[in-house]
């Protein structure tokens, strides 16, 4: 019991002004300000209620903003999907008559020449459908080789045509407006006489 009273006395002495500071052992007189105990401030109930209501409003607003953002994101994904489906449907619709004509050609019982002329008509119909979608073939035979739109299958030695002129189209290339869909696969002239000059 005496030990407890002694510990209480030491604490009071440590808190009293002008006594030695327990933390660093220096006198608390003129050199250092006295140790002051700070009382816990109490917030009035009205202020507490006001802050709590403001916090609740902010949480509610945050929850609503998060819900609005999630709804906008879902709406944007749905609109993008709907637009893609609409664009695909628009393109497919133009090719359905071509498919119908291919199926009719398969059922036809004519000569090879009649079948060939029927397929030529279907190819023209297909090209019309592509033009309706702003898809154009890449210029090839007679044009100068352009690596941006042509892919060289082979170089052919020819001295009767200009160097790097496209001689033959192996596979047609296409572009939509200025964007290349696929390059044309071509054979290109290699004129050794022009290279030496």
Q: What is the pLDDT of residues 76-101, one digit of tens each?
A: 999 999 999 998 898 899 899 999 99
**Phi then psi dihedrals of residue 165, to 5 deg:** -85, 140
**CB within 8 A of 107, min separation 6: which ones?**
none
Q: Do domains 39-133 and 135-197 have the same CATH topology?
A: no
Residue indicated by tokens 């609503």: 64
Edge-first strand order for the sheet with 174-176 is 135-137, 174-176, 179-182
Domain ranges of the chain: 39-133, 135-197
| Contact by Cβ (8 Å): 174, 135 | yes
| CATH code linked to domain 39-133 | 3.90.20.20
Mean pLDDT, residues 35-48 taken together: 74
Which pLDDT value is given to residue 37? 64
CATH architecture of the domain with range 135-197: Roll (2.30)
Alpha-carbon distance 16 to 7, whole Å? 14
Which pLDDT value is given to residue 90? 86
Alpha-carbon distance 23 to 161, whole Å? 101
**Phi then psi dihedrals of residue 122, to 5 deg:** -65, -40
Residue 66 has pLDDT above 70, yes or no: yes
User: Residues of the chain with pLDDT > 70: what percent?
Assistant: 78
Cα 109 off chain centre by = 52
Which pLDDT value is given to residue 109? 86
Q: Mind listing the pLDDT tens digit for each residue in 123-158?
A: 999 999 999 899 999 999 999 999 999 999 999 998
Residue 18 has pLDDT above 50, yes or no: no
Residue 9 has pLDDT above 60, yes or no: no
Which pLDDT value is given to residue 36? 65
């Amino acid at each position: 019991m005496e030990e407890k009273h002694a510990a209480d006395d030491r604490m009071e002495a440590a808190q009293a002004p002008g006594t030695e500071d327990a933390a660093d052992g220096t006198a608390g007189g003129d050199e250092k300000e006295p140790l002051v105990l700070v009382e816990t401030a109490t917030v009035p109930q009205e202020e507490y209620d006001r802050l709590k209501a403001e916090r609740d409003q902010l949480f509610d607003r945050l929850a609503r903003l998060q819900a609005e953002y999630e709804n906008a994101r879902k709406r944007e994904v749905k609109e993008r999907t709907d637009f893609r489906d609409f664009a695909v449907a628009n393109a497919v619709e133009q090719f359905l008559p071509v498919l119908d004509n291919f199926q009719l050609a398969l059922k036809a019982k004519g000569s090879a020449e009649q079948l060939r002329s029927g397929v030529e008509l279907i190819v023209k119909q297909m090209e019309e459908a592509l033009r309706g979608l702003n898809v154009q073939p890449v210029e090839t035979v007679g044009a100068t080789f352009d690596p941006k739109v042509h892919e060289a299958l082979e170089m052919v030695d020819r001295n009767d045509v200009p160097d790097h002129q496209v001689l033959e189209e192996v596979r047609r290339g296409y572009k939509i407006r200025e964007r290349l869909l696929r390059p044309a696969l071509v054979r290109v002239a290699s004129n050794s006489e022009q290279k030496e000059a």
